[in-house]
Amino acid sequence: MYKIVEKVSLNPTVTMMQIEAPLVAAKAEPGQFIILRVDADGERIPLTVAGYDREKGTVKIIFQIVGATTEKLNHKNVGDYLQDFVGPLGVATHLDGLKKVCIVGGGVGCAIALPIAQKLHELGAHVTSIIGFRTKDLLILEDEFRACSDELIVMTDDGSYSREGNVTVPLKELFEKGETFDEVITIGPLIMMKFVVLACQPTGIPCTVSMNPIMIDGTGMCGGCRLTLNQDGKKVTKFACVDGPDFNGYEVDFDEAMSRGTMYVAFERHAYEEACNLFKEVK
């Protein structure tokens, strides 16, 4: 069992928790993830490691309340326990040798991007961060990004905070000014990452994307997280849980990934409504 030692609401739909998991904290690196179960009857869900404290033996997770399991997880409080907390899983983000990097995060994907930006800052790299949200009310982690970024650009789709527009607007502006990077790392909704990759393509700058498809076991056995990559004119199947979650953005078949991501929307919505009704009955 894994104890919740801290819980903070970052906005109306996003929550941060610190989980007591010393074995995971001892090995975790930016870009990796864990799989948890809220209780013995719960489903397994993957969540990216949003931070860790090796001395305290804690791992930070940040999640958006979008389905039945995240709804149940959000009803847990400090002092409560999680049934399972397995990890770290996946391949850590490759950061060695990078001197100048642009981090592009969207929505709750910023929780994944932040530890990467922090690690790059610790390694002495020049970090430009672009983070985007639909509206000011959904903004998270601005202060944390500012602390580890040489330049921070905040975007909101509706212009309710900072600059209006999506994250590709300032990215293209930087390219037009002749700005170059060793790498662009983008994490967020699939459609956002697709257009970040398209914005990078004319420059030839390497662009890494973090994929978070449907995932069950986290070992590559279920095949639920498979992705299609286009490598040298050939279609290659990879699994996000063991080969990723980071991939060369120029190779990812985003259209297929987006199509697969909608397969269980109706089922997930039904499960979420059942969970909400259950908590209402308990109250």
Domain endpoint, select from 58, 89, 120: 89
Same domain, 183 and 109: yes
Q: At 229, is the pLDDT very low, low, confident or very high (cuts 50, 70, 90)? A: very high
Same domain, 80 and 52: yes
Query: In terms of residue numbers, what domain contains 156?
Result: 100-210
* Average pLDDT of the residues in 177-197: 96
* Average pLDDT of the residues in 55-67: 94
Domain endpoint, select from 210, 229, 244: 210
Q: Are 32 and 210 in contact (CB under 8 A)?
A: no
Same domain, 61 and 126: no
pLDDT at 267 over 60: no
Percent pLDDT > 70 in the chain is 92
Same domain, 64 and 120: no
Residues in the chain: 283
Q: Assess if residue 221 is contained within a domain.
A: no
Q: Assess if residue 30 is contained within a domain.
A: yes
pLDDT tens sequence across 135-150: 999 999 999 999 999 9
CATH of the domain at 194: 3.40.50.80
Same domain, 204 and 108: yes
Q: Assess if residue 226 is contained within a domain.
A: no
In sequence order, the 6+-apart residues with CB closer than 8 A to the CB of 278 are: none
Same domain, 105 and 182: yes
pTM over 0.95: no
* Count: domains in the chain: 2
Q: Assess if residue 225 is contained within a domain.
A: no
Same domain, 112 and 151: yes
pLDDT at 277 over 70: no
Facing residues of 14 across strands? 11, 64
CATH of the domain at 25: 2.40.30.10
Distance CA 273, CA 271 (A): 5
Burial 149-174 (b: 16+ CB within 10 A, else e): beebbbbbeeeebbeeebbbebbeeb
